Amino acid sequence: MKKTPSMRGKLREIYFSDHSVVFYLVLALVMAYVSVRQLDMLQALGLFLLGWLIYLPEEYFSHVLVFHGPMPKSPALYRLLYRLHLGHHDKPRRIDLLFTPMWYTLPSLVLNVWLFFLVTRDVHQSAALVSGLIVGYLMFEWWHLLVHSPHQPGRILRYVRRQHMGHHHWNEKRWYIISPPAVVLDRIFGTGGSVQQSPKSLDPMTSGLAADDERLVRARTYYRDASDWKEDESAIWQVNQHSSLP
């Protein structure tokens, strides 16, 4: 009898099915190798951790300023933002809309590489910083997948899940952070707090757009066929049809 895959195994399958995850994992390993070719292990590890710490505010501010920045009036520009992030709000169970596209992450990485080298003037130190930054991003994507899955996490991720569901279903302008070490940023910048005691926005799933708004309708139509199952859900979640997914 064929064994039914476990939820954790299915989550790993989902995670590594995204080509950008594999690409960045290999790149992070290459950068780590380049760094230890010249740096001692302690220095490389310190710079790696610094790169990871640098990623955390980048996660917050990219979510605030770009993903939920000014709403494009152009349907074509809105369609890009829909794929970048707003489509994930609209269809949170669509795997093809969950992961951040490489046309955004790769230029962002190049900019970080340039800034790191501008500061350090050293290829190996920059490589250590880059490897930490990439690992921070990969951890974000994994945690993001977990909080949207039926997987029952530990206490910390359960807290993140409650806050993130508030971001999706209560107010899209609050609770931006996924990476647990950075949840303090929501408190520092006034975008955290209790979900039930915070003001509710007009429609967090569409970021305030009406259901018949031309931009939203055209974006939904454009990405409809990208789903491998239903318009609102990816086939991979059939592994656990009786579970409640966020």
- The CB-side HSE value for 39 (13 A sphere, CA atoms) comes to 22
Q: Is residue 57 part of a domain?
A: yes
**Domains contained in the chain, number:** 1
Distance of CA 190 to the CA centre of its chain: 21
Q: Is residue 116 part of a domain?
A: yes
pLDDT of residue 63: 98
Q: Is residue 17 part of a domain?
A: yes
Q: Is residue 196 part of a domain?
A: yes
> 230: which DSSP letter?
B
- pTM, rounded to two decimals: 0.92
Degrees to nearest 5, angle at CA 161 with 135 and 67: 65
Q: 213: domain range?
A: 8-233
Contact 173, 201 (CB under 8 A): yes
Residue 19, number of CB atoms within 10 A of its CB: 10
Q: Is residue 241 part of a domain?
A: no
pLDDT of residue 223: 95
**pLDDT truncated to tens, each residue of the chain (246 aa)?**
444 567 778 889 899 999 999 999 999 999 999 999 999 999 999 999 999 999 999 999 999 999 999 999 999 999 999 999 999 999 999 999 999 999 999 999 999 999 999 999 999 999 999 999 999 999 999 999 999 988 888 999 999 999 999 999 999 999 999 999 999 999 999 999 999 899 999 999 999 999 999 999 999 999 999 888 888 888 877 655 544 445
Cα-only R_g, the chain: 19
Q: Is residue 244 part of a domain?
A: no
Q: Is residue 181 part of a domain?
A: yes
